Structure 1
């Protein structure tokens, strides 16, 4: 097989050459205007975040397999792939442990104001008249309420870790749902009751800007927001406004609407002491990366054997 990895440098270490590859093109990155040339002779493409849309796919009649090097596959036009008989495989649940632990770490950082207190140690502590320096009130995780949007592998694992810390967990029903399923809580009630809200749902037309100004205004005053899913789930301007007004006590954002962001992106330079922005790495623990590589290799081998697995098309 002629296999092309369009954005190989998006992994922290190189993906080994698949055994089925007679031609192996591991590209560091591929811009939108380079995709056609990169895949013109390819049988299989691997993409992490490089978009493969219908106009592009229609010009690639030889392409038979797309392996998404992630769980989410919103970068691929699935309907177009079905129309053209292209098999699309993803890597389910590989990063659930890493992302869930990142969420809990963010909860500790935001509820205990670790960023602000870290700065106090260098600025205010040496001049303090006491052995300690007090700033924003430190809140326990125990007894707090965590709202979770999305009950897949990651959301469910976050819930298990949270319950182990004696955090009350609410799973949010779909926004606007007429009925509430067993084990779920109405979306607006979750907003109103949660001390922290964490997002673990896919990006779809229905979830785009799921959290905007209206939703933030209905959140419990002083709550915190965590997003490790997709940047476009939240309105970034609304998050900034919520932080500035105090409606949000903090936010931990591992994803942004456009990645990489502009150098002058306001969230990257905002001085709020309880804003934590990280460069889309919640998924990238060493064990998660190893699982990702193993499943990618298995997806290619299974397709070559005529028994594709992890098919989403």
Structure 2
């Protein structure tokens, strides 16, 4: 089996992304290529007191043999970067890194992308409409149907809706999109995790899963019929379950994944359970993409207090998904 070729986008340069990337020099990892500003990385390494050498890289060079020197596909920031201080002028360079990575992956010259944390607000402040990595990468890949999944310590939680204001969530729950999300989830669990018959539980939208219609009818009119249809196809799927009781050991012990209706219904539980070790995985893309489970942590940038564990888990997960896909296609 050929070796793995992993790309890592540094993310928001003012955040902890550069801290985490330079810290990789202290870990034994498969050879990977960073995408970011090499001067920013070098300055952050000096600030943190981490001895590491950097080497500019380009696709024409072939893949690096090791990580004793960190290979960087350089992108020059318009403005010099200072830890903890956002600058909208640098936002286009952050997105350029994602664009380059997707192009390389689509050309078959890399196997997976691990993304460092980005700051949605500063990208929007730069006048660029942006709602998140998941949506941006889907558009960049020409893929309209994707699903956000976070996984950690044996718990997997996918989201029927992602970065929406809470007031818009109920209107976004419909049978067509819900069925599409569940099919993406089943396909991803089979393809990327090797689960032949994944066991899926689905939350309700409303408190107590609607209380028989007294607290909302989405469960009766939308969620339950979709689940029933998939059960009729032989799926191991149940619901809609009240979210406040579904996320307990008794229910989760025989569950491979949960589909939650919205971001802050499912992810607080996942992050309480596995924060710092969880991985964000985008299902449905033609490329492999994983990410950390945290944000840019501007207050920690340059301090030496940023934890690298989630990034290490994201790198490991990307490698495992690539291997699983190779096995399933061989």
TM-score, normalised to structure 1, is: 0.34
Q: Which has the larger radius of gyration?
A: 1
Q: Which structure is richer in relative contact order (CA contacts within 8 A, separation 6 or more)?
A: 2
TM-score, normalised to structure 2, is: 0.33
